[in-house]
Amino acid sequence: MQQSYFVIGTDTNVGKTYIASALIRHFVQAGNKTVGMKPIASGCEISQHGIWQGQLVNEDALALHEASNIKPALNLINPYRFAPAIAPHIAAQQAGVQVEISVITSAYQQLAAMADVVVVEGAGGFLVPINAQQTMADLAVTLDLPLVLVVGMRLGCINHALLTVEAIKARGLKLAGWVANQIEPQMPMFEGNLVSLQQRIDAPCLSVVRWQGEAKEFKF
C-alpha cells in the first residue's frame, strides 16, 4: 500500500489527533509502515525526558509518534513548533518565523519515502491561517492528499461540516471520507444530526465515535 491522508477538522478541539492516531494504528495493524505528521503545532513545551529531551514538543505530535511504527526525526514529524497555545500564524509571528509550505512539503516527501502511509494532521480548522497569505487549505492543495474530515459532533456541527466540505470541493480536493466524533457528551439529537450529515456529505462516513468511545474500524 502506498497512500497518505490529510486529517482536517471542522474546528479546533474536535478530536483530530485522536482520530489521526487511530488511523495510524489502523494502517499499522494492516501491516503497513505508517507514520504521523503534524506540520505546524502551537502549545509546545520543552520535553524533560525521552528521545526529544530539551526540544520543544507538542503533545499532538507525540501522540502521532507513539502510534507510528517508524520513528523519524522530530523535525520531519513536526517541522514548525511554537510555545504559545494560540493560532499558528500568530505564534509564528511572535517567534519571528515565516511558515513556508515548501519546508513542510520537503519534510512530507522524506516521510513518504520511508513509509507506506503518512497520516498528516492539520491544525485548527481547514481555513486557519498559517502565514500572512496562506491557510491550511493551501497546504492541503500543495500536498494534494485525500482528506479525512473530523466532524466534532455538537450543536452547530452540520453548518461547520457542510461549509468545510464546500471549501474542499471548491479547491478540487478529494474528500476520502469523514468521521463523526461526539465531543459533547449530552449532545441533543445526536442521531438526527448524524443522519442529516450522512444525507448531505457526498463521501463515506468512515467511523462514528461516541463520547469517550474508541475509534476502532474505518470503512474506506
Q: Is residue 114 part of a domain?
A: yes
| Annotation marks residue 169 as catalytic | no
Q: Is residue 218 part of a domain?
A: no
Chain centre distance of CA 33: 19
The helix, strand and coil proportions of the chain, stated in percent and rounded to the nearest 5, come to 35, 20, 40
Q: Is residue 129 part of a domain?
A: yes
With contact defined as beta carbons under 8 Å apart, do 171 and 137 qualify?
Answer: yes
The residue count for the chain: 220
Neighbours of 51 (CB within 10 A): 11
Question: pLDDT in tens for each of the 220 residues of the chain?
Answer: 679 999 999 999 999 999 999 999 999 999 999 999 999 999 999 988 788 888 989 999 999 999 999 999 999 999 999 999 899 999 999 999 999 999 999 999 999 999 999 999 999 999 999 999 999 999 999 999 999 999 999 999 999 999 999 999 999 999 999 999 999 998 999 999 999 999 999 999 999 999 888 887 788 7
pTM: 0.95
Q: Is residue 176 part of a domain?
A: yes
Q: Is residue 217 part of a domain?
A: no
Number of DSSP helices (H) and strands (E) in the chain, helices first: 8, 10
Q: What are phi and psi of 68, to 5 degrees?
A: -75, 155
With contact defined as beta carbons under 8 Å apart, do 142 and 125 qualify?
Answer: no
Q: Is residue 41 part of a domain?
A: yes
The number of domains in the chain is 1
CATH of the domain at 92: 3.40.50.300
Q: Is residue 220 part of a domain?
A: no
Nearest to 151 by CA among 181, 129, 174, 196: 181
Q: Which of 16, 38, 174, 219 is catalytic?
A: 38
For residues 154 and 172, give the distance between their C-alpha atoms in angstroms, rounded to a whole number: 28
Q: Is residue 216 part of a domain?
A: no
C-alpha cell at 88: 499558528
For residues 5 and 202, give the distance between their C-alpha atoms in angstroms, rounded to a whole number: 18
For residues 138 and 179, give the distance between their C-alpha atoms in angstroms, rounded to a whole number: 22
Domain residues for the domain of 129 are 5-209
